[in-house]
Amino acid sequence: MSSERRRVVVTGMGAITPLGQDVDSTWASLKKGLSGVSGITLFDASEYKTRIAAEVDGWDTSEHFDKKEARRLDRFLEFFVVSARQALAQAGLDFRDDEEAASRAGVMVGAGFGGMGSFIEEIETLSERGPGRVSPTGVPKIIPNMGAGLVSIEQNLTGPVSCVVTACSASANAIGDAAEIIRRGAADVMVAGGAEASITSFGIASFSQARAMSTRNDAPEAASRPFDLDRDGFVMGEGGASLVLESYEHAQERGAEVFGEIKGYGMSADAYHITLPRPGGMGAARAMKAALHDAGLDGGSIGYVNAHGTSTEANDSTETAAIHIALGDSARDVAVSSTKSMTGHLLGAAGAAEAVFSLKALDEQVLPPTINLDTPDPDCDLDYVPNEAREARFDHVMSNSFGFGGHNVSLVFSRA
């Protein structure tokens, strides 16, 4: 770790999740161990093997955008733009009348897909009515980077603005990459996060065909059960989350409240299979070790791991093995939980949402639980904070995110 490197802190957070339309309501639900999973309402799923998901209930676009704006937005873009507004408001930053500061501020967004719902609609229009009926705003609704573009436009952020597309690790990468941009001095402030809204016909059908999703349709709230012996796949969620990252000096100069520091960012690839993790967990373990090395910490320093914990058969046992490899003997003492047991899997937005949860855990010294953990899988032998939140004392938290394609990303946050 270079002594020259600039420190990066978190001064704002925003989240729209299946458990609430802001950070506070989401966090309150997580501490209570509530599930956001129920029957799919966003499309008619009656003929699908999986008919449950974790939707953002009661999302009202008109509360956030006028009609003219809304026509050009996919649901995933709405989630991201609103989460960014929340994060910037909490940070107390506004660049709309300060061109110089604006040029030192940027956005890094992560998305797995982009505007899948809009893509499906446009393709249906194309098939049914021909090319002359395809919307000219179809492409800007669909491309995954547009969240970054929109936040840049709305908030007048004219520094580095970009996008990461690495499936379910996308927004963890976005946060790590944004931190690197600040570390190397290319920006002072970055909005970093992600969004996803793929509870759609194609999204559910394709994951379902891959045998990756739970079919526990008769008990939606019990469907996402990471590390439990009776787990049968992940439950799709949706939402958006953003952090405001800032150089330590910049935050200090303006007297900003700091929620935590990004100390470590590690990534690795499995180089193994398009959807399955490399057995044994060595791939994921290398990302965790890289993040620890980047943070200058040893495994024993980590008090809490917010696991990727998808509730698929392959992930949960492999991730457990990876935590054993990365943390060594300390793995026996570390608390690990999967908030996906409650939020479902926000896919490209998961890393950002779980970064928010990790920072809240750190700030409040409370561990959110893994719910539905009734019968621990013998291959999953860690302390998963089963079913009830609890208080703990810890200074460093690790958040894991893995993606189809073999991407492994770990972030380490530390108390400010």
Task: Point out which span in 129-137, 213-221, 260-268, 390-398 binds other proteins (CB under 8 A).
Answer: 129-137
- Mapped onto helix, strand or coil, the DSSP state of residue 48 is coil
148, 159 contact by CB (below 8 A): no
Question: With contact defined as beta carbons under 8 Å apart, do 409 and 176 qualify?
Answer: yes
Task: Figure out which of the listed residues 58, 130, 131, 136 binds other proteins, where binding follows CB under 8 A.
Answer: 136
63 binds other proteins per the rule CB under 8 A: no
Q: Is 345 one of the catalytic residues? A: yes
66 binds other proteins (CB under 8 A): yes
Answer yes or no: 308 catalytic. yes
What mask, x for binding other proteins by CB under 8 A, covers residues 74 to 113?
----------------------------------------
Residue 67 CA to residue 172 CA, distance in Å, equals 32
Q: Report if residue 393 touches other proteins, rule: CB under 8 A.
A: no
Residue of the chain from 2, 68, 128, 393 that contacts other proteins (CB under 8 A): 68
Q: Are 169 and 269 in contact (CB under 8 A)?
A: no
> Applying CB under 8 A, does 128 fall inside the site for other proteins?
no
Closer of 139 and 229 to other proteins (Cβ): 139
Selection from 401, 40, 391, 362 nearest residue 207 by Cα: 40
- Do the beta carbons of residue 397 and residue 358 sit within 8 Å? yes
Q: Which one of 163, 168, 324, 380 is the catalytic residue?
A: 168
CB atoms within 10 A of CB 186: 13
380 is known as an active-site residue: no
Token digits of residue 186: 């290319």
Is residue 133 a contact point for other proteins (CB under 8 A)?
A: yes
Nearer to other proteins by C-beta: 60 or 66? 66
131 binds other proteins (CB under 8 A): no
Catalytic annotation, pick one of 250, 324, 345, 396: 345
Residue from 2, 3, 67, 378 touching other proteins (CB under 8 A): that is: 67
Integer Cα distance of 212 and 234 in angstroms: 6
Q: Please state whether beta strands 8-16 and 260-269 pair in parallel, antiparallel, or not at all (unpaired).
A: antiparallel
Is residue 130 a contact residue for other proteins (CB under 8 A)? no
Least spacing, CB of residue 67 vs other proteins, in Å: 3
How many amino acids of this chain bind other proteins (CB under 8 A)?
Answer: 13
Q: Tell me which residues touch other proteins (CB under 8 A).
A: 66-72, 132-133, 135-137, 140
Active-site annotation, residues = 168, 308, 345
